[in-house]
Amino acid sequence: MPNIPVVVNARSGPDAKTDEAGQIEAAFRQHGMDAHVTVMQPGNDIARTVDAALAGGAPLLVAGGGDGTINAVAARLLDKDTTYGVLPLGTLNHFARDLGIPFDIEKATAIIAGDHPVSVDVGEVNDRIFLNNSSIGLYPRIVSERENAQKRLGIGKWPALIRATWNALRHPSSFNAVVCVDGEELHRRTPFIFVGNNAYVMEGFGIGKRPRMDAGLLSLYVLRPKTALGLLSLGFRALFGIGSHVDDFEAFEATDFRVESERSSIMVATDGEVNEMPTPVRYRIRPRSLRVLAPPRAQGVGQGA
């Protein structure tokens, strides 16, 4: 398979440098595959690069980076015949983890060479997709405060994230929302609405993982009102996988729903990226709309056609 296009985000992870291109190309050559690596620098247009590869008739396209990069490339591949290969190179790689793709270039390349396609669901909010999850309230606030701290204080991403998370948990704020699901309007005051592409484990050390990614359903979790101490306790328990979080949230499953607000627009996170969206915010599932290469024994995902 000549000239497999590989798109790599140079900003993904502390060790991601342009010389990774040589390592990636060498890993593909070990499997008799010729990879052409494009390292995306800040300001480059990923969509344009992917569209050019698709215009050339590429049957396989590979992306290397974190969840944001994997999401951006996947958005151009939905409902297409092109198969998607994933190299988890970024700081956060929840999509690859839940598919069972190893966090190692050589091992992840072996998965791609194994040519085992599966079809997975994709979530959509307004016109933006998410492979993992979307949220309103607490998390978008943390991301916004982290970015502000980085710019204002000149500190790194992780110190800024810790600072923003601590401030958000110590000073929680709730908002009024109307969640419309299965024809019913639910009026809630909550600090956090979380929407998953398929269901998430809500207890024990498996918390935050998905047993399957092809059930054709969105999972909706509405956090019950919490004091500052309650949020700190919740964050601590989630971090260390202690106990169950079933009682902390109201949980629903649906193929689509909407969230109404008294505001004309709200901040919405999708796979770690935050954008302002007009209300109401509309969610839907796009069943098995992405063909991705995964380990042959990956559980809970549909076989590709």
Judged by average pLDDT, the poorest of 48-57, 140-149, 241-250, 264-273 is: 241-250
pLDDT confidence band for 298 (50 / 70 / 90) = low
* Backbone angle region of 57, left / alpha / beta, with phi > 0 → left and psi within -120 to 50 → alpha: left
Element counts in the chain: helices (H) and strands (E): 8, 17
pTM listed for this prediction: 0.86
**Which positions ≥6 away from 121 have C-beta within 8 Å?**
197, 198, 213, 214, 215, 216, 217, 285, 286, 287, 288, 289, 290
What integer best gives the mean pLDDT of the chain?
86
Q: Of 29, 5, 23, whose CA–CA distance to 113 is shortest?
A: 29
Residue the block writes with tokens 């798109």: 7
Mean pLDDT in residue range 139-163 = 86
**Which positions ≥6 away from 96 have C-beta within 8 Å?**
70, 86, 88, 103, 108
pLDDT tens-digit map of 122-147: 999 999 999 999 999 988 888 888 88
Q: How many CB atoms lie within 10 A of CB 189?
A: 11
Give the pLDDT score at 151. Answer: 86
Every domain of the chain and the residues it spans: 4-115, 129-287
The percentage of the chain sitting over the pLDDT mark of 70, rounded to a whole number, equals 86
Pairing outcome for strands 4-9 and 35-40: parallel
Q: What class is the 129-287 domain?
A: mainly beta
Cα–Cα distances in Å, from 272 out to 185, 256, 280?
A: 28, 21, 21
* Cα four-point dihedral sign 63, 69, 71, 73: negative
Judged by average pLDDT, the poorest of 74-83, 131-140, 170-179, 228-237 is: 228-237
The C-alpha angle with vertex 8 and arms to 276 and 269, in degrees rounded to 5, equals: 20
pLDDT confidence band for 91 (50 / 70 / 90) = confident
Q: Which CATH number does the domain 4-115 belong to among 3.40.50.10330, 3.40.190.10, 3.30.200.20, 1.20.1440.230? A: 3.40.50.10330
83-115 in b/e form (b: 16+ CB < 10 A) is bbbbbbbbbbbbbbbbbebbeebeebbebbbee
pLDDT tens-digit map of 191-241: 999 999 999 987 765 677 899 999 999 999 998 777 666 666 766 666 656
